Amino acid sequence: MDQPHDPSLSPYRTFSRAQWAELRRDTPMTLTPEEVTRLEGLNAHLSLAEVEEIYLPLSRLLSLYVAATQKLFRAMSYFLGQPAGDARGEMPDGEGKMPYIIGIAGSVAAGKSTTARLLQALLARWPNTPKVDLVTTDGFLLPNAVLKREGLMGKKGFPESYDLPLLVRFLSEIKAGRRRVRAPLYSHFFYDVMPDQMVEVDRPDILIVEGLNVLQTTRPPKDGKASPFVSDFFDFSIYIDADEDILEHWYVERFMSLRRTAFMDPLSYFHRYSELTEQDAETRALSIWRSINLPNLTDNILPTRQRADLILRKAGDHEVAEVSLRRL
């Protein structure tokens, strides 16, 4: 028999939208209405009220967490007899800088990219003007040629479709303060990793890593020699949450918008969908959602939600209705 839910036993403190908004305190609004509009995702309206009530309190929380982590880094350096670095964790010779890494997870169409871009813009406007970089894990997908050879094209976005050792090595080098760390570049237009094209990350103060499965783990081996998970390199993690029926609606809505825009280009990987009738296109979008994205959500993504430090739960209007913050 199911046990009654006891909120006092939850590892999270949950806030209504109004309660969370009060935690903004005196955090200034540093984005203009025009900048907020430019940060909007496809079919995801982003209002000034959303920024002020949800993301400015989050920016304030992150500023406190970053400062505390840098203080801990200096304490560890002191313990190990290493140079303590400055207030931002940077050594006198510029090497060994410790970036603060934020992971953002959630379903397809949940709004991860919009959240990542917005946080990047807000964090870069802090008074000490930190360098904030953003990478998505799309670049670490295996190339289509490999996915086809391995019979994984129908599972693109599932954990097995990524080059996880490459992603872990990338994050390890970032965390170690290495200079000019390179990551593969992905094109949504061509739906593939672009050969010989890379993005470079050069010792940021903060790195935001956005992806479907960034909180994914595997069963630890019995010999205790497990390789690190992607999330092992995160200092803070966020999960973007919404009900399955809402996510399905957002996915279909986005698909139909792309059908009228990017898919119209003959060079687009998905150009064939622009030639479907409205009804056939919607049927196709639902089929893709229910055969690929929904199983990935239920089997791989949703089970990682409770590993996040913060859960942003959205309502059908794309606005965050509830925030859950992990207790310390």
pLDDT tens readout for residues 262-293 = 999 999 999 999 999 999 999 999 999 999 99
Domain ranges of the chain: 10-217+224-326
Judge whether 142 and 128 are in contact, CB under 8 Å.
no
pLDDT score at 15: 98
pLDDT score at 225: 66
pLDDT score at 1: 45
Residue 241: strand, helix, or coil = strand
Q: What is the pTM of this model?
A: 0.92
Given a cut of 70, the residues of the chain with pLDDT beneath it are 1-7, 42-43, 84-97, 219-226
Topology classification of domain 10-217+224-326: Rossmann fold (3.40.50)
Q: What is the DSSP letter of 231?
A: G
3-state secondary structure 129-192: CCCEEEEEHHHHECCHHHHHHCCCHHHCCCHHHECHHHHHHHHHHHHCCCCCEEEEEEECCCCE
Judge whether 190 and 269 are in contact, CB under 8 Å.
yes
Please identify which residue in the block is written with the tokens 């410790």: 98
Q: Which amino acid is at 74?
A: R
pLDDT score at 222: 62
